[in-house]
Amino acid sequence: MSQAPRVRILLSETYNPWFNLATEDWIFRELDPSTQTLFLWRNDNTVVIGRNQNPWSECNLARMEEDKVFLARRTSGGGAVFHDLGNTCFTFLSAKEGYDKTANVRILLDALSRLGVTAQASGRNDLVIPLEDGPRKISGSAYRETKDRAFHHGTFLIHANLSRLANYLTPHPKKLESKGSASVRSRVMNIRDLQSEASHESLVKAMIGAFCDFHGATAEPELLEPSFLESQPSLKRTFDHYASWDWRFGNAPRFSHQMVEYLSWGFFEVHVDTENGHVTRAQVFSDALYPDLVQDLQAALTGKPHSRNGMQQAVAEVRARHPSQERELAELETWLMGQVEV
């Protein structure tokens, strides 16, 4: 008689996306793949972008800051998505040997069935509800494999605020040309549109039941709180990485940004090329009566982070060389910092 596989169930008790994404990465890199692992979690008010995406072109960063929305970047590819507490996220870890990609899909469909929802797989990554006017997506997934382990993660839309998705993934109109990949918007719907009683708690219960039944095993869920970081130094380092500006913004692909304004002391047209979140080339055109200041600004911008702090650093360098133009530089600093949004 074959022995039932070992299973492990982890439930996040925090809505912090950097903690949850770091935990995913920790699960993938460090947990024993011979143990079938299920991780369930939610992020609060978060835009998650793909590894190769540009937050300045994908996201309305000014509105995100105003509404206190997190920006997170995952290590996998794909497009930008918005998470709120109406999204339930899932992560599976399995051994690569004998791994069947359809196994987890069967678990997901079984969990939905326990909620009274009949769905079907669409292609490799999505679960959809078939409707008369066409299928509506309720879940999307992504996969990752190494020589000894297989990783599958995704999200369910339970009662997500779908209008906010468009708010934060639509950038302000500005002259910003990106060479990153643009996100593809899909026709989506909430599970609660079909089952009014569906909730995160009921889906978690259904997922745990379907997972344990499929593997013929049982396990008590382990609750993960922020204090868990202190007991796992490698997880803490990963969390710090996911929370860092360098990862979230500095990992952006190459793009160009043009800024144009009439200031009280002259017309300014600033072009910057940015790669990995830092200005690699700057050109400043102006009819201001301080030509040396304009040239010093062009030189100072190069190498700075494409951020408010970076603009502030550049103007500070110019200020040190032109202390008598404090009023003009204060206006310039305010304008430049307002253009980069973060």
State the architecture of 257-338 in CATH terms. 2-Layer Sandwich (3.30)
Confidence of residue 3 (pLDDT cuts 50, 70, 90): low
| Integer Cα distance of 314 and 300 in angstroms | 5
The whole-number pLDDT of residue 170 equals: 62
CA distances in angstroms from 295 to 211, 280, 303, listed in the order given: 63, 16, 15
pLDDT at 1: 42
Domain ranges for the chain, please list them: 7-249, 257-338
CATH code for residues 7-249? 3.30.930.10
Integer-rounded Cα radius of gyration of the chain: 24
What is the tens place of the pLDDT at every residue in 303-318?
999 999 999 999 999 9
Beta-bridge partners for 285: 269
**In Å, how far are 62, 106, 189, 255, 335 from 201, measured between CA atoms?**
33, 20, 19, 42, 47
Give the Å distances, CA to CA, from 328 to 49, 190, 310, 319.
37, 52, 18, 10
What is the rounded CA–CA span in Å between residue 233 and residue 237? 6
For residues 76 and 48, is the Cβ–Cβ distance under 8 A? no
The region, left, alpha or beta by phi > 0 then psi within -120 to 50, assigned to residue 341 is: left
- pLDDT, one tens digit per residue, over 216-270 is 999 999 999 999 988 999 999 999 999 998 899 887 778 888 899 999 999 999 9
Residue 116 backbone class (left: φ over 0; alpha: ψ -120 to 50; beta: rest): left
Whether the per-residue pLDDT at 278 is higher than 50: the answer is: yes
Question: What does the CA dihedral 226, 230, 233, 236 come to, rounded to 10 degrees?
Answer: 30
The pLDDT tens digits for 181-220 are 555 445 889 999 999 999 999 999 999 999 999 999 999 9
pLDDT tens-digit profile of 98-149? 888 899 999 999 999 999 999 999 987 899 999 988 899 999 888 888 889 9
How far is it, in rounded angstroms, from Cα 174 to Cα 2?
62
Cα three-residue angle 165-21-180, rounded to 5 degrees: 55
Residue 169: its H or E element: helix 162-169
